[in-house]
Amino acid sequence: MNPSILAATTARILTQVRRDRRTVFMILVVPALLTVLFYFTLSLQHAGPDGRTPFDRLGILQLGVLPCAVMFPITAITMRRERSNGTLDRLFATPMTKLELLAGYGSAFSLAAVAQAVIVTLVAFRVTDLHTSGSAVLVAMVCVLNAILGVSLGLFFSAFAQTEFQAVQFAPIVLVPQLFMAGVFIPREQMPGWVQSISDALPLTYAVEALKQISTHTDATPRMWRDMALIGVFIVAALLGGAATLRRKTP
């Protein structure tokens, strides 16, 4: 890994993102706005016997889903564009390696993800009055991990799209089943066994579980750390899969 090539690629991608105002808005502002909207849909509901409002229970979980849902299509489309406009051929004629290219994409969008997580966590706790037993810093950490998960899944799935249009179509296929099975709407233990088994193999499950742990436990639990580590494993696996599907030579 050549640090200078990695830094140049990260800077190049961030410059491109910055030039597109709408993408900047999508990454930094939209998740926070959706959080506020979600808050208002639940604002007339009363707190339960444990003193937690429905927003306390559900609002925190959508923080695990939104960053992934926003970063996935943005990354998939950007990478697809790189593959189709001829610049990928050209980059591979330079000393750059496949891993350096993917790492460049990963680090550029992950930096954007950190900014996104800070904003959405601040809004959730300060503006919409979210209460958790655990620390807001841990919530922000899960947000960042989820956004990076969205980035790595986007890089991986872009390989299976022929066009940018097809890349967008992956978003509902990849995200919605995970959302249904992750235990956001109903605890996983109350789902049929086969659904639970599938959701065991899906990364968003562990994001939701980690957030539930933070929501109800004052201190960081071993289970939460295990969940975060598992999300990390999914991120690495998707990046390696992305590298495997990038080909220097085309048939």
Partner 1 sequence: MSIASAPPAIRIDDLRIDRGSHTVIDTISLSVPSGIITGLLGPSGCGKTTLMRALVGAQQITAGSAAVFEQPAGARSLRRRIGYVTQSPSIYPDLTTAENVGYFARLYGVRKDRVREVIDAVGLTSKKSELAGNLSGGQQGRVSLACALVCDPDLLILDEPTVGLDPVLRAELWEQFGALARRGKTLLISSHAMDEARHCAELILMRDGAILAHAAPADIMRRTGCGDLESAFLSLIRDSTDDLSPLRPHVIPEAVS
44 contacts partner 1 (rule: CB under 8 A): no
Q: How far apart are CA 205 and CA 208, in angstroms?
A: 5
Q: Which is nearer to partner 1, 7 or 36 (CB)?
A: 7
Count of CB atoms within 10 A of residue 223's CB? 14
Q: Which is nearer to partner 1, 23 or 216 (CB)?
A: 23
**Member of 65, 66, 70, 91 binding partner 1 (CB under 8 A):** 91
Q: Which is nearer to partner 1, 85 or 218 (CB)?
A: 85
The angle formed by the CA atoms of residues 168, 146 and 206, to the nearest 5 degrees, is 115
Least separation in angstroms between residue 71's CB and partner 1 is: 19
Q: At a CB cut-off of 8 Å and minimum separation 6, what does 11 contact? A: 108
190 contacts partner 1 (rule: CB under 8 A): no
On the 0-12 / 13-18 / 19+ scale of CB atoms within 10 A, 46 is exposed
Q: At what angle do helices 21-28 and 3-19 cross, to 10 degrees?
A: 100
CB 54 within 8 A of CB 82: no
**Member of 36, 40, 233, 248 binding partner 1 (CB under 8 A):** 248
251 contacts partner 1 (rule: CB under 8 A): yes
Q: How far apart are CA 190 and CA 200, in angstroms?
A: 14
**Member of 24, 26, 96, 118 binding partner 1 (CB under 8 A):** 96
8 contacts partner 1 (rule: CB under 8 A): yes
87 contacts partner 1 (rule: CB under 8 A): yes
Q: What CA–CA distances, in Å, run from 246 to 76, 95, 148, 174, 183?
A: 13, 16, 19, 20, 34
Least separation in angstroms between residue 4's CB and partner 1 is: 6
Q: Which stretch binds partner 1 (CB under 8 A): 24-32, 55-63, 85-93, 113-121?
A: 85-93
216 contacts partner 1 (rule: CB under 8 A): no
Q: Which residues bind partner 1 (CB under 8 A)?
A: 4-5, 7-9, 12, 15-16, 19-20, 85-87, 89-96, 248-251
